[in-house]
């Protein structure tokens, strides 16, 4: 039952699906509009510096292991993984920060220094989070979101209350210290919504953070993309870059192929790993499942303003990952989710991969990535980007007690307009569709089209959700559905 399968895009989910489907013996071709693969996880190289354009946090190493094990391989066959110690640090004021080390014991000691007795509560909180991790990441997320019954298991039934409480509430029940509260609320930001809108059950992200740790693949996250590309190609997948998909062709409610760079290509199955909203725009309107109104009402994960900066010296008082939580989160969160606007006082994140990885910058120099989360759909103009660089770099200098402005060799920025142009991203979102209670599993855009036979979707706007590990899982889930359809 060998089929011709055409895949749109080459992000994590598409590459994962390409590998699974090629392994089943299908003729798989991936069409990527950009000149390199990887989607949001592409790489920027300049003047001897190397930056990950998108993801920088390698969390949930077990998901990557499970992916490669499905092919009789392991991550180490493709890239070298470094466990970060410290995992990261969080600034709350001038020379005032908490460092999160690489084991729960050490993190408990840091908590205890902040608030006496907090380490006991932390251990209990993380034990519950581990339990949730075992239920969610080892089982539930590997279900394709076809029915609400997928979520009803004896294990989830016992935890039902946690679906109707929020991370914010649960954390605040146990911890008074506002610094510890913001550290414990940080991991669910990866899911794209406010902690006050994220079900308490999602505390499995805290286990990923404190229980499993933060890793860095040598040469950056892009080395995972390169590994997956090598794997998919070794199984026979053909990956074509600079191939813009202009249309998904449909005849009598069945997908028949793609128009790529003006040429018609026939296929038995079409899978799109491009942003779901864009993928549906490639169809005649009668074949779209979701209206503009549907997308407009959804809670999207933030977009971002990013800077990739080459410094001509090593920086001090920062770790590989450093968070700047020295301004109130609530005001910035309101400007992302409730009243979209450029933030008055933004929280920001900075990563210095050259702290750990000598391939990221020439000797004696530092590679810096700065990220400010923003509401999708804001007006993005060069003057605003400049204003915000000035804003955060001045704060950075003050908080970390060093001068760096005159040490910038170059800086490049990436923001809303670039997300739209580079990835056809809806409103320039960076991390897809947020995971809230009403945007979980079967309530998310479907992996399989209900209107067109032989048409499937994958990626961070679909099931299970945003982030690199969920994208790998999405590629696996959709491949399973495609196999089922073929076997019918
Ligand atoms: C700045 C940033 C930081 C992040 N940080 C982290 C992190 O630290 N850890 C983490 O786990 N996750 C992180 N994420 C999220 C993670 O990167 C994404 O969830 C994941 O990469 C999404 O993969 P995907 O397969 O859904 O698709 P994408 O990466 O979006 O790939 C879609 C592909 O489709 C292509 N495409 C679109 N339209 C067409 C067309 N018409 N024809 C051909 N090709 C097309 C695009 O060019 C793109 O290559 C981050 C994301 C961003 C943007």
How far apart are the C-alpha atoms of 445 and 453, rounded to whole Å?
16
Contact between 372 and 388 (Cβ < 8 Å)? yes
Pocket of ligand 1 (CB under 6 A): 8-14, 31-34, 39-41, 54-57, 244-245, 273-274, 278, 304, 306, 423-424, 430-432, 459-460, 466-468, 471
- Alpha helices by DSSP H, listed for 74-165, are 104-114, 118-136, 154-158, 160-164
**Which residue's CA is minimally distant from atom 19 of ligand 1?**
467
Check if the beta carbon of residue 306 is closer than 8 Å to that of residue 370: yes
Two tokens, residue 358 = 């000598």
Protein residue with its CA nearest to atom 33 in ligand 1 = 9
* Residue nearest atom 40 of ligand 1, based on CA coordinates: 245
- DSSP-based three-state secondary structure for 410: strand
Q: How far apart are CA 81 and CA 69, in angstroms?
A: 16
Identify the structural domains of the chain with CATH numbers, from first to last: 4-41+55-79+220-296+434-487 (3.50.50.60), 105-207 (no CATH)
Hey, what are 340's tokens?
Answer: 């979209």
Average pLDDT over residues 241-255: 98
pLDDT, position 68: 98
Q: What share of the chain is helix, strand, coil (3-state, %, to 5)?
A: 45, 20, 35
- pLDDT above 90 (res 14): yes
Which is nearest to 28 in space by CA: 250, 246, 273? 273
Residue identifier of the C-alpha nearest atom 18 of ligand 1: 467
pLDDT, tens only, 433-470: 999 999 999 999 999 999 999 999 999 999 999 999 99
pLDDT of 1 > 90? The answer is no
Distance of CA 329 to the CA centre of its chain: 20
Ligand 1 atom nearest the C-alpha of 459 is 26
DSSP reduced 3-state for 314: coil
pLDDT given for residue 106 in this prediction: 98
Judged on CB neighbours under 10 Å (0-12, 13-18, 19+), 487 is exposed
Which residues lie below 8 Å from residue 73, measured CB to CB, with a gap of 6+? 231
Residues in the chain: 488
CA–centroid distance, 429 to ligand 1, in Å, is 10
DSSP 59-85: --HHHHHHHHHTTT--GGGT--EEE-S
Measuring CA to CA, which residue among 272, 302, 301 is closest to residue 289? 272
Q: How much distance in Å is there from the Cα of 41 to the middle of ligand 1?
A: 6
Question: Which pLDDT tens digit goes with each residue over 152-210?
Answer: 999 999 999 999 999 999 999 999 999 999 999 999 999 999 999 999 999 999 999 99
Does position 67 have pLDDT exceeding 90, yes or no?
yes
Measure the CA–CA gap between 257 and 262, rounded to whole angstroms: 13
């Amino acid at each position: 039952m060998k089929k011709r399968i055409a895949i749109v895009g080459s992000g994590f989910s598409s590459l994962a699906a390409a590998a699974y489907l090629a392994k089943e013996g299908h003729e798989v071709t991936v069409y990527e509009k950009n000149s390199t693969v990887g989607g949001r996880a592409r790489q920027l190289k300049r003047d001897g510096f190397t930056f990950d354009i998108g993801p920088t946090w390698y969390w949930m190493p077990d998901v990557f292991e499970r992916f490669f094990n499905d092919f009789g391989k392991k991550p180490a066959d493709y890239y070298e993984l470094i466990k970060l110690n410290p995992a990261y640090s969080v600034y709350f004021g001038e020379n005032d920060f908490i460092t999160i080390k690489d084991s729960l014991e050490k993190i408990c000691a840091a908590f205890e220094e902040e608030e006496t007795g907090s380490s006991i509560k932390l251990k209990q909180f993380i034990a519950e989070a581990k339990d949730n991790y075992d239920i969610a990441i080892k089982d539930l997320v590997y279900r394709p979101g076809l029915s609400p019954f997928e979520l009803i298991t004896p294990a989830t039934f016992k935890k039902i209350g946690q679906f109707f409480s929020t991370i914010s509430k649960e954390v605040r029940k146990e911890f008074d210290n506002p610094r510890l509260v913001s550290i414990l609320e940080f991991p669910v930001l990866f899911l794209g919504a406010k902690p006050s809108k994220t079900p308490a059950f999602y505390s499995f992200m805290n286990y990923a953070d404190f229980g499993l740790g933060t890793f860095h693949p040598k040469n950056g996250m892009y080395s995972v993309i390169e590994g997956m590309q090598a794997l998919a190609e070794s199984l026979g997948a053909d990956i074509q870059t600079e191939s813009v998909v202009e249309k998904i062709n449909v005849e009598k409610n069945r997908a028949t192929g793609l128009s790529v760079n003006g040429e018609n290509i026939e296929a038995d199955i079409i899978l799109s790993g491009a942003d779901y909203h864009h993928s549906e725009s490639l169809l005649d309107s009668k074949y779209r499942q979701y209206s503009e109104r549907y997308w407009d009402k959804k809670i999207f994960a933030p977009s971002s303003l990013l800077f990739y900066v080459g410094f001509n010296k090593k920086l001090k008082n920062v770790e590989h990952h450093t968070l700047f939580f020295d301004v109130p989160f609530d005001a910035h969160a309101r400007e992302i989710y409730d009243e979209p606007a450029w933030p008055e006082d933004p929280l920001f994140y900075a990563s210095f991969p050259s702290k750990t990885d000598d391939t990221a910058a020439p000797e004696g120099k530092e590679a810096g990535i700065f990220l400010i989360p923003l509401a999708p759909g804001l007006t993005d103009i060069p003057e605003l980007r400049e204003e915000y660089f000035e804003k955060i770099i001045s704060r950075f200098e003050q908080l970390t007690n060093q001068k760096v402005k005159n040490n910038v060799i170059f800086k490049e920025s990436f923001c809303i307009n670039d997300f739209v142009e580079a990835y056809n991203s809806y409103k320039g979102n960076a991390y897809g569709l947020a995971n809230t209670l009403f945007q979980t599993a079967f309530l998310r855009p479907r992996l399989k089209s209900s209107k067109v036979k032989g048409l499937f979707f994958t990626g961070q706007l679909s099931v299970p959700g945003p982030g690199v590990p969920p994208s790998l899982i999405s590629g696996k889930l959709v491949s399973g559905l495609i196999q089922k359809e073929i076997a019918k």
